[in-house]
């Protein structure tokens, strides 16, 4: 029962505490307006290059932009605690680590999904992209799965931030790689073979492909394989992230490096 | 003479200091490479391949804008956090001549972007590095950097009035990339955006560099860089004076 409370209540309270600075003056420019212009930028490059339709870029970039809240917020979950000198108090507590860390990921996933959904709706409206209303529930599910999958990668990022001082830079680097490798802007078939291989193991790749098919009128059942793969990728990253967090925690205790990096 | 020495010393100091910043290296080297790579792949795969040198210059210019935006937008706030703002205001030279080298340095560091996108394109995407008008090219680069540095002065003087300067920088990065047509022709944008494009130095800067590199007449574009730079200098001067007076009146110089 205590673990359930830590998972839900602890996760929510921690999110509110660590993101008290995320006021509308910061949230709107960074997470509402910026993704719309990312969509517009690539849609216009796409028109200029004569590559794909606007729908391709709206769906790809809307989903991919969930990486900003998912990667940065998960990192802040560890980095923010350290900054406020509360990390050691948390790690010394007897709370079970799975509810402690994974509970913090729930608000991050929901925020990431909101950012992606809003960007998709705004991009669709601005560029006049036609997505059938019947596809909306399935698209919502895919967006949620994509945000979950990227939050798994964010957990790895959070663990690394126990050792890396410039964790925001690492998030930026990961965001850049996701922009290239996930097929958000370049069709996967046009990527060189080695890039295509990497993209198969990244968050978003399968979710973006599934979302594009749904936007073209496919049923949820026909993209179940892609969605399932995305879930598995998310679980794999979350598992690795959790293991890495525990490893870093042990290393931090052993070498007294918790507050140092 | 002493003013020129002040500008040069300040510019050199800030250039060195920014070069040591991981954030600025990320903004001016890594990020443009990401956008350049995507654009190369898109144009290579598209039905209208276009010139990859055009893309390389545009992606490099994106980096120049980003480093100017983030560096200059937070310039005064940055001095405030470091506790050096009072000294910058109190020294005998006018505040504008102390801040200007910093904003010029943020634009200059963007040249790393152009260099890296050109080399990256040449190494991996066979982008030809042949410049049609080398003389114009050598003139277009400093003219663009100067114009963006002076635009940075306006950003520095106005962003300081907004508490969340970083969020404002986030807000303006993509829109300016779009509206100045750094990676595509301005003719693709709706007509109502044209006046916005024309009052922004990156529009003329990228056109100047492109016309010098790919062939064309960059003279007018370079002249526009100088004209806009002069306008930004005047606007920046008045905005800084207003900020300084307000800060002295309200005793808020050291307050965020």
Chain A residues with CB-CB distance to B31 below 8 A: 172, 176
Give the integer Cα–Cα distance in Å for B43 and B74: 35
Chain B residue with Cα closest to A47: B188
In a domain, B255, yes or no: no
Please tell me the distance from the alpha carbon of residue B155 to that of residue A220, in angstroms, as a whole number.
48
Nearest-Å Rg of the Cα atoms of chain A is 19
pLDDT in the model for residue A167 = 76
Residue among A26, A51, A176 minimizing CB distance to B167: A26
**Do B26 and A186 make contact, defined as CB atoms within 8 angstroms?**
no
- pLDDT tens-digit readout, A166-216: 777 888 899 999 999 999 999 999 999 999 999 999 999 999 999 999 999
- pLDDT value at position B49? 66
Tell me which chain B residues have a C-beta less than 8 angstroms from the C-beta of A29.
164, 167-168, 170-171
**A21 or B106, greater pLDDT:** B106
> Residue A45 is nearest to which of B42, B171, B175, comparing CB atoms?
B42
Handedness of CA B27, B29, B31, B35 (dihedral sign): positive
- Identify which of B188, B67, B169, B154 has the alpha carbon closest to the alpha carbon of residue A33: B169
Specify the pLDDT at position B1.
65
- Cα nearest neighbour of B39 on chain A: A45
DSSP A189: G
Residue of A nearest to B41 (CA): A186
> Is the separation of the CB atoms in A41 and B174 below 8 Å?
yes
Q: What is the pLDDT of residue B253?
A: 75
Taking an 8 Å cut-off on Cβ atoms, the answer to whether A49 and B49 are in contact is yes
pTM as predicted: 0.91
Q: Which residue has the higher pLDDT, B181 or A101?
A: B181
DSSP letters, B207-247, are HHHHHHHHSS-THHHHHHHHHHHHHHHHHHHHHHHHHHHHH
Whether A49 and B45 lie within 8 Å, measured CB to CB: yes
Q: Does B47 touch chain A (CB under 8 A)?
A: yes
Are A169 and B34 an interchain contact pair (Cβ–Cβ within 8 Å)?
no
Per-residue model confidence as pLDDT tens digits over A76-97 = 877 788 778 888 888 888 888 8
How many structural domains does chain B have? 1
Mean pLDDT of A255-261: 69
Alpha-carbon gap, residue B141 to B146, rounded angstroms: 9
pLDDT-derived band at A259, boundaries 50, 70, 90: low
Shortest distance between the Cα of A134 and any Cα of chain B, in A, equals 31
State the residue range of the domain holding B219. 2-250
Contacts of B243 (CB under 8 A, 6+ apart): B76, B157, B160, B161
Which residue, chain included where needed, has tokens 């945000």? Answer: A147
Output the pLDDT for position B238.
Answer: 93
Q: Is residue B256 one of the residues assigned to a domain?
A: no
Within-domain flag for B64:
yes
Cβ of B50 and A41 within 8 Å? no
**Pick from A38, A179, A185: which is nearest to B174 by CB?**
A38
- Strand, coil or helix: A114: helix
d(CA B124, CA B143): 29
| pLDDT score recorded for residue B255 | 64
ipTM of model: 0.89
Measured CA to CA, the distance from residue A227 to residue A225 in angstroms comes to 5
pLDDT at B225: 97
Are A249 and A91 spatial neighbours (Cβ–Cβ below 8 Å)? Answer: yes
Chain B residues 113-172 with a CB less than 8 Å from chain A: 163-164, 166-168, 170-171
Asked if B2 reaches chain A (Cβ–Cβ under 8 Å), the answer is: no
**Confidence grade of residue A1 (pLDDT, cut at 50, 70, 90):** low
| Contact: B34, A179; criterion CB under 8 Å | yes
Contact A112, A151 (CB under 8 A): yes
Cβ separation A50–B47 shorter than 8 A: yes
Is the pLDDT score of A261 beyond 60?
no
Which positions in chain B touch A191 (Cβ < 8 Å)? 41
Per-residue pLDDT of chain B (256 residues; tens, 9 = 90+): 688 999 999 999 999 988 888 888 888 888 899 999 999 999 988 877 667 899 999 999 999 999 999 888 888 878 888 888 888 888 899 989 999 999 999 999 989 999 999 999 999 988 888 899 999 999 999 999 999 999 999 988 888 777 677 778 888 899 999 999 999 999 999 999 999 999 999 999 999 999 999 988 999 999 999 999 999 999 999 998 888 888 888 877 766 5
Of A38, A49, A166, the CB nearest to B43: A49
B30–A172 C-beta distance less than 8 A: yes
Is the CB of B167 less than 8 angstroms away from the CB of A30?
Answer: yes
Tell me the C-alpha distance between B109 and B84, whole Å. 22
pLDDT at position A220 over 90? yes
């Amino acid at each position: 029962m205590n673990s359930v409370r830590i998972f839900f209540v602890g996760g929510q309270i921690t999110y509110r505490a660590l993101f008290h600075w995320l006021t509308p003056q910061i949230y709107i420019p960074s997470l509402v307006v910026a993704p719309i212009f990312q969509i517009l930028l690539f849609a216009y490059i796409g028109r200029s290059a004569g590559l794909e339709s606007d729908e391709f870029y709206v769906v790809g970039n809307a989903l991919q932009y969930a990486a900003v809240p998912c990667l940065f917020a998960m990192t802040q979950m560890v980095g923010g605690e350290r900054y406020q000198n509360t990390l050691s108090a948390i790690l010394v507590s007897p709370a079970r680590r799975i509810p402690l860390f994974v509970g913090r990921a729930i608000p991050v996933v929901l925020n990431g999904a909101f950012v992606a959904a809003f960007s998709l709706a705004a991009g669709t409206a601005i560029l006049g992209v036609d997505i059938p209303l019947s596809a909306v529930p399935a698209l919502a599910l895919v967006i949620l799965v994509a945000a979950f999958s990227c939050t798994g990668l964010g957990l790895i990022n959070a663990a690394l931030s126990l050792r890396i001082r410039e964790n925001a830079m690492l998030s930026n680097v990961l965001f850049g790689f996701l922009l290239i490798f996930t097929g958000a802007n370049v069709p996967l078939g046009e990527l060189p073979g080695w890039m295509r291989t990497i993209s198969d193991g990244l968050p978003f790749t399968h979710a973006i492909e599934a979302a594009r098919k749904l936007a073209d009128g496919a049923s949820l059942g026909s993209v179940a394989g892609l969605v399932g793969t995305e879930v598995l990728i998310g679980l794999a990253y979350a598992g690795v992230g959790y293991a890495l967090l525990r490893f870093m925690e042990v290393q931090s205790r052993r070498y007294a490096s918790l507050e140092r990096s | 003479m002493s003013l020129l020495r002040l500008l040069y010393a300040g510019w050199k100091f800030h250039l060195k200091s920014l070069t040591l910043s991981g954030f600025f290296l990320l903004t001016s080297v890594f990020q443009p490479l990401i956008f350049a790579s995507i654009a190369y792949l898109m144009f290579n795969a598209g039905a209208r391949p276009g010139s990859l040198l055009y893309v390389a210059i545009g992606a490099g210019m994106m980096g120049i804008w980003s480093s100017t935006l983030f560096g200059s937008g937070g310039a005064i706030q940055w001095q405030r956090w470091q506790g050096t703002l009072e000294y910058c205001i109190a020294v005998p030279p006018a505040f504008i001549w102390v801040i200007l080298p910093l904003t010029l340095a943020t634009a200059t560091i963007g040249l790393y972007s152009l260099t890296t996108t050109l080399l990256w394109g040449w190494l991996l995407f066979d982008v030809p590095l042949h410049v049609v008008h080398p003389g114009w090219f050598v003139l277009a680069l400093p003219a663009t950097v100067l114009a963006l540095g002076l635009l940075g002065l306006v950003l520095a003087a106005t962003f300081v009035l907004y508490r969340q300067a970083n969020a404002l920088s986030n807000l303006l990065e993509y829109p300016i990339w779009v509206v100045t047509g750094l990676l595509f022709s301005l003719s693709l944008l709706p007509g109502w955006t044209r006046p916005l494009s024309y009052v922004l130095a990156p529009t003329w800067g990228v056109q100047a560099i492109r016309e010098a590199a790919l062939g064309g007449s960059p003279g007018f574009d370079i002249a526009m860089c100088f004209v806009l730079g002069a306008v930004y200098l005047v606007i920046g001067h008045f905005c800084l004076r207003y900020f300084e007076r307000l800060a002295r009146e309200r005793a808020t110089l050291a307050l965020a």
